[in-house]
Structure 1
Amino acid sequence: MEEILAETVIHCKNLVAFAVISGYIEERHASAIVNLLPNIKRLSLRHAHMARENLVMILKGCKELEYLDVSFCEGFDEGDGEILKLASHISSFKDKGSSLDNYYCEDDCSSFRYDGFFDGYWSE
């Protein structure tokens, strides 16, 4: 995913939205989102497997988010108080159906490769 983001940022100077569906969002992926897309407005990570800490990193680093969809993710619970507080500035935050249940990548996701599919990006 880092390579996709790096190329996208080069070729799409006015990127406003990015989506990855059903992927493993490891620490390095969350860091790439924060470092390469700090001003992203719309982000969809539906059905992702990601540690709670990685979502927190994205919420703390992407301050201009207006839309964030982390519905049906595994690795954090829907309605988590800290996550809701960090997302309170986001006009459309969706975490429906997300849970820690079935999250089998609790400590180290490095053994998993990114196998989500690139869903798209939009620029103005």
Structure 2
Amino acid sequence: MAEIKLEVIKEADLTNNCPECFNQGLKLSFFQKHSYGKLIHKTTNEITSELECKKCGTKIYPVGWTPDIERVFEYYQKMAVPQKKSLKFTTLFYILILVLITLVGIGVYILLNSN
């Protein structure tokens, strides 16, 4: 089973007011989805974001955003450049492929010499 992690690609401290407690101190984070398995490591283009108040600790969803927060979000969204989509194989994958090729080679050798 693959382990899915959201890795931070951009964080920003905003000076906009929190819609809940009206404190100036918001934290905007952008995450990229990475999947780690036993045979492959996969990086996707999927980006998620989270806006949280530093004082009251509440997550602020887009429904409660003010126009100022939306403008700042769009600005930082353009700056959050994700890593390229990629697929990397682990050493276990290469070891299994090598063992499989070796077993097939041994099987062909035995078949050719048995005649």
Which protein, 1 or 2, shows the higher relative CO under an 8 Å CA cutoff with sep ≥ 6?
1
Which structure: greater strand fraction?
Answer: 2
TM-score w.r.t. the length of structure 1 is: 0.19
Tell me the TM-score normalised to structure 2 length. Answer: 0.20
Which protein has the larger Cα radius of gyration, Structure 1 or Structure 2?
2
